[in-house]
Amino acid sequence: MQGKCSWDAGYHDIMRRNFHIRASARLSDLLRRARIRFAETKKRPHWIGPPIFDELVKYWASQEFKEKSDKAMKNRASEKGGCIHTGGCLSNGEHAERMVKIVNFYLFFHIIFKFNRFMFNTTKFMHLTIKFNV
């Protein structure tokens, strides 16, 4: 992972987590596209070997996969429950710009995300920004 890029050792866990999140999302998207393409054309992608693809086709046809897929589809369509976007009408980028003006240094997005999650049900904005200004 660190062959083409470098970072301080203190960021290793953050970088590893970020890599795994992005790789997982990319692989999920590739498999989704392969499943859709197979349903339309019955063709296997060149990057998946025949024995593995046969197993994937069996899994995609299984009742277990169909139940998970239906459940996920209903959850994505639902407007009940929690919301991923807890920062209000402002994007994380806008929150970052505003917080930089308050605390006078750049904050990483994972800190802004934690801050937004913390602030969702509280009014402790000024007290928390004072703690950041260390």
Domain boundaries defined on the chain: 9-77, 92-132
> In terms of C-beta distances under 8 Å and separation of at least 24 residues, what long-range contacts does 34-38 make, across chains too?
35/60
87-132: pLDDT as tens digits: 556 666 676 677 677 766 555 655 655 555 554 444 444 444 434 4
**Per-residue pLDDT at 121:** 47
The rounded distance, in Å, linking the Cα atoms of 113 and 92 is 7
| Structure-token pair, residue 64 | 């277990």
State mean pLDDT over 34-44: 94
CA 131 to chain centre: 28
| DSSP assignments along 34-100, one per residue | HHHHHHHH----TTS-HHHHHHHHHHHHSHHHHHHHHHHHHHHH--SS--S--STTS-HHHHHHHHH
State mean pLDDT over 29-38: 93
Of 11-25, 40-54, 94-108, the range with the lowest mean pLDDT is 94-108
